[in-house]
Chains A and B, each alone.
Chain A
Amino acid sequence: MTITDRTASELLALQAAGDVSARAITDAFLAVIREREPTVQAFVQVDEAAARQQAEAVDAKRRAGAPLGPLAGVPVAVKDVLCTRGVRTTCSSRMLADYVPPYDAHVIERLRAADAVLIGKTNLDEFAMGSSTENSAFQVTRNPWDSTRIPGGSSGGSAAAVAAREAPLSLGTDTGGSIRQPASHCGIVGVKPTYGRVSRYGLVAFANSLDQIGPFARTVTDAARLLAVIAGHDARDSTSVDQSVPAYTQSLDQPLQNLRIGIPQEFLKTGLDAEVEAAVRAALREYQAQGATLVDVTLPHAAHHAIAVYYIVATAEASSNLARYDGMHFGHRTADKGDLIATMSRSRTEGFGPEVQRRIMLGTYALSSGYYDAYYLQAMKVRRLIAEEFATAFTQCDIIASPTSPTAAFPIGEKTADPLTMYLSDIYTISANLAGIPGVSLPCGFTSNGLPIGLQLLAPPFAEERLFRSARMYEAATDWHTRRPPL
C-alpha cells in the first residue's frame, strides 16, 4: 500500500515505529498533488517548500525525543477561508486575491500545535457561497470519481483533495451543508460539529450564526482525531462554548447498544433519487441487523421551511459581513476611481462574483426597513421552531438518519443557471445548521455510474461522540470507505 493510501492513524503509527519519516510522507502527498492537480484542481495554493520544512521540523523533534503533537507529520489541507499568518487567504474571491492575514485562525494554531503539516489551501465556492465549488473565482474543482462532475461545495476543494489522496485530512466549513454534501459527493467522511464546538476565530465569516469548521477524512477514526485537535473553548470567539472535549477516538469502536435511529418521514418523500434512497435504506437495514431500531420522527418545519429560513438568515448575515470589502481598507480596489460611493461600488462590482452579489442583495433586502419583521424576524422565529422540533425528535431517538444529498454529484454546469435548484440540493443538511446540531456524512454506497452516495447522521448538541460511534458501527461493517476513485 502506498503512503498516500494510508489513513492518518496509520501514518502516525508508521512514524512512531520509525518506518517512515514525516518528510517522506509529505513528499509522497506532494507528488500526488503534482500528478493529480491538473485534473482535480482542489488546491488554490500549495507551498511545497513550506510543507517540507514543517515535516522536517517534526522529524527533528522526533529525533531529539521532544514531545510530539497528536497529528505529528500528518499533512492537512485547509479550506482557503481560514486565515493563515503570512499566507494568502483568498476565499476563492477576486476580492481577496492578494489578501495576506497577519494572524492564524484558532484552528490553524491548533494544527500547528498538533505538529500537523499544513500542505496547502483548498478551493471553495467564493466566500463559501455555493454547493458545487463552481463559484470559485479561480478554478472549478473536479470530482475525483468523475471529473465531469462537481465535487460538491462549498468545501469542494477540501473534500476532493482527501478523496484524491492529495491529503489524508482536511478542514472545511459548513454553513448549510458545505462539509457534509461534498463529503457525500466525494465518498469520504465529513463532520459538521455542534455550533460553538470549534472556535470560528480566523474563519472569514459567511454566516456567523451558522458557520462551523469541521474535518474531512477517509475514515470515521481519522475525522474524530482531527476534530479532537480543533475542538474546545477559545475566549476569542464569544460563541465558542466552554465544554470539555471527550477523547473521541477512545470510545469509537464501542458499538452503541439499542441505538434508536430517527427517520424523518418528510425527508424520504419528494425529489429523492431512487438509487440514493435505496442505498440509505440498505444502510438502515445494516443498523437494524446490528440491533438498532428505527423510529419515525417528524420535522415538518425543517423539511418545508429550512431552505427559505436559511436563505434569509445566511444572506442577511453575509450582506453585513461582506460590507467591509469596499476597496478602502480591504479587498480589490477598482482602477476606475470616482467619488467615495462610486469607488466602493465599482470595487465591489468587480471584486465579487455573481452568486456573492446575489446573496448580498438578498440579505440587504431582508434587513431593510419595512421588510425586517416580515423576513429576518420571521425567519428567526421559524429557526427557533426548527431547533425545538429537533429537540423533540431527539427525545424519541438517539440519532437521526437521512441521505446527505438528494442526488449524487451532478455534472459541472448543470445547475449554474438555476440557483434555486442548486439551493434545493441542500435540503437535508441545512436544518442542522439552523438548529446548531452536529452531523456527519459517511459513504453508504455508489450509484450505477460509480458515484458515491452519503448517509447523514445527526445528533443532539455536543453529542459528537455518539455520532462518531454510530458512524463507526456502520463503517466497520462495510467497505465503501476503502474504495478508490479512478484517477
Chain B
Amino acid sequence: MTSIADELARLEEIVRKLEADDIELDAALALFEEGVARLRVARERLVAAELKVQVVLDQAGGDLRYTDLDG
C-alpha cells in the first residue's frame, strides 16, 4: 500500500498538471478521474486511521518480533 505521503504527492502532481495549459482534454479527464479516486482513498485513510503501537524485540536468531503495546 502506498503511503499517504506518496498519495498526496501524486495528487499534487495531478493538480499541477491539470492547472497547466498545455494538456489535452483526454489526458485531463484521465488525470481528473485518477485524482478523484486518490482523493477518496486519502480522505478515507485519514479519517479512519487508528494508531498502532508495537514494541520491537530483537530475537536470538536476529529476527525482529513485533508485539502490540496496550494503551
> A and B from one assembly?
no
Spell out A's residues near B (CB within 8 Å).
Answer: none
Residues of B within 8 A of A (CB): none
